[in-house]
Amino acid sequence: MNKEEISQLKETVINVLKTIYDPEIPVDIWTLHLIYGVDVDEEGNVKIVMTVTAPNCPVAEVLPAEVKKRIEAIMGVKKVEVELTFDPVWDISMLSDEAKAALGLDGDYANYSPMDFLY
Protein backbone atom coordinates (compact mmCIF):
# COMPACT_ATOMS: atom_id res chain seq x y z
CA MET A 1 0.00 0.00 0.00
CA ASN A 2 1.14 3.51 -0.70
CA LYS A 3 0.72 6.41 1.74
CA GLU A 4 -2.59 7.48 0.23
CA GLU A 5 -4.07 3.98 0.50
CA ILE A 6 -2.85 3.70 4.10
CA SER A 7 -4.44 7.06 4.89
CA GLN A 8 -7.75 6.01 3.28
CA LEU A 9 -7.77 2.70 5.14
CA LYS A 10 -7.06 4.47 8.44
CA GLU A 11 -9.93 6.86 7.75
CA THR A 12 -12.22 3.88 7.09
CA VAL A 13 -11.10 2.26 10.34
CA ILE A 14 -11.87 5.46 12.25
CA ASN A 15 -15.29 5.72 10.58
CA VAL A 16 -16.08 2.15 11.68
CA LEU A 17 -14.90 2.94 15.23
CA LYS A 18 -17.41 5.80 15.23
CA THR A 19 -20.20 3.23 14.79
CA ILE A 20 -19.23 1.18 17.86
CA TYR A 21 -20.89 2.24 21.09
CA ASP A 22 -20.02 1.55 24.68
CA PRO A 23 -23.19 -0.32 25.67
CA GLU A 24 -23.39 1.56 28.97
CA ILE A 25 -22.91 5.06 27.56
CA PRO A 26 -24.92 6.24 24.53
CA VAL A 27 -21.86 7.68 22.79
CA ASP A 28 -19.50 5.99 20.32
CA ILE A 29 -16.05 4.87 21.47
CA TRP A 30 -14.25 7.33 19.20
CA THR A 31 -16.15 10.33 20.56
CA LEU A 32 -15.65 9.06 24.11
CA HIS A 33 -11.89 9.07 23.41
CA LEU A 34 -11.58 5.41 24.33
CA ILE A 35 -9.32 4.97 21.30
CA TYR A 36 -5.77 6.07 22.07
CA GLY A 37 -4.20 5.10 18.77
CA VAL A 38 -4.85 3.68 15.30
CA ASP A 39 -1.93 2.53 13.19
CA VAL A 40 -2.11 1.01 9.72
CA ASP A 41 0.99 -0.38 8.04
CA GLU A 42 1.77 -0.84 4.34
CA GLU A 43 0.53 -4.44 4.42
CA GLY A 44 -2.92 -3.56 5.76
CA ASN A 45 -2.26 -4.61 9.34
CA VAL A 46 -4.12 -2.49 11.88
CA LYS A 47 -3.16 -1.89 15.50
CA ILE A 48 -5.61 -0.19 17.82
CA VAL A 49 -4.75 0.92 21.33
CA MET A 50 -7.85 1.50 23.39
CA THR A 51 -9.20 1.67 26.89
CA VAL A 52 -12.54 1.36 28.62
CA THR A 53 -14.14 3.79 31.04
CA ALA A 54 -12.97 1.87 34.13
CA PRO A 55 -10.69 -1.13 34.74
CA ASN A 56 -13.60 -3.08 36.24
CA CYS A 57 -15.90 -2.12 33.36
CA PRO A 58 -18.25 -5.00 32.52
CA VAL A 59 -17.41 -4.71 28.82
CA ALA A 60 -13.61 -4.73 29.26
CA GLU A 61 -13.40 -8.07 27.45
CA VAL A 62 -16.35 -7.73 25.10
CA LEU A 63 -15.68 -4.28 23.66
CA PRO A 64 -12.11 -4.92 22.39
CA ALA A 65 -13.34 -8.18 20.82
CA GLU A 66 -16.12 -6.29 19.03
CA VAL A 67 -13.63 -3.69 17.82
CA LYS A 68 -11.38 -6.44 16.44
CA LYS A 69 -14.26 -8.20 14.70
CA ARG A 70 -15.63 -5.01 13.13
CA ILE A 71 -12.22 -3.83 11.90
CA GLU A 72 -11.35 -7.28 10.51
CA ALA A 73 -14.44 -6.99 8.29
CA ILE A 74 -13.06 -3.95 6.45
CA MET A 75 -11.86 -4.69 2.93
CA GLY A 76 -8.10 -4.30 2.73
CA VAL A 77 -7.43 -5.11 6.39
CA LYS A 78 -5.17 -8.14 6.76
CA LYS A 79 -4.67 -8.49 10.51
CA VAL A 80 -6.00 -6.61 13.53
CA GLU A 81 -4.37 -6.26 16.92
CA VAL A 82 -6.34 -4.57 19.69
CA GLU A 83 -4.36 -3.60 22.77
CA LEU A 84 -6.33 -2.73 25.90
CA THR A 85 -4.50 -0.28 28.14
CA PHE A 86 -5.20 1.72 31.25
CA ASP A 87 -2.30 4.10 30.75
CA PRO A 88 -3.49 6.74 30.93
CA VAL A 89 -6.59 5.81 32.88
CA TRP A 90 -9.65 7.22 31.13
CA ASP A 91 -11.56 9.92 32.97
CA ILE A 92 -14.39 12.31 32.29
CA SER A 93 -12.04 15.14 31.32
CA MET A 94 -11.15 13.16 28.17
CA LEU A 95 -14.67 13.50 26.77
CA SER A 96 -14.97 15.50 23.58
CA ASP A 97 -17.31 18.48 23.54
CA GLU A 98 -19.64 16.39 21.37
CA ALA A 99 -19.71 13.62 23.99
CA LYS A 100 -20.31 16.11 26.80
CA ALA A 101 -23.27 17.55 24.91
CA ALA A 102 -24.67 14.07 24.17
CA LEU A 103 -24.43 13.16 27.84
CA GLY A 104 -25.96 16.44 28.98
CA LEU A 105 -22.92 17.54 30.95
CA ASP A 106 -23.00 21.21 31.82
CA GLY A 107 -19.25 21.70 31.69
CA ASP A 108 -18.72 21.09 35.41
CA TYR A 109 -17.66 17.50 34.94
CA ALA A 110 -14.94 17.45 37.58
CA ASN A 111 -17.42 16.01 40.06
CA TYR A 112 -18.39 13.08 37.81
CA SER A 113 -16.80 9.66 37.71
CA PRO A 114 -17.16 6.90 35.07
CA MET A 115 -19.53 5.11 37.44
CA ASP A 116 -22.00 8.01 37.09
CA PHE A 117 -22.66 6.89 33.52
CA LEU A 118 -23.48 3.26 34.17
CA TYR A 119 -27.11 2.33 33.74
* Phi/psi of residue 84, nearest 5 degrees: -95, 125
98 inside domain: no
In a domain, 95, yes or no: no
Its domain, for residue 54, covers 3-89
- How many structural domains compose the chain? 1
The rounded distance, in Å, linking the Cα atoms of 63 and 8 is: 24
Mean local confidence (pLDDT), 66-90? 96
Q: Is residue 12 part of a domain?
A: yes
Write out pLDDT tens, residues 40-49. 999 999 999 9
Q: Is residue 101 part of a domain?
A: no
For residue 41, what is the domain's CATH number?
3.30.300.130
Q: What is the pTM (predicted TM-score) of this model?
A: 0.83
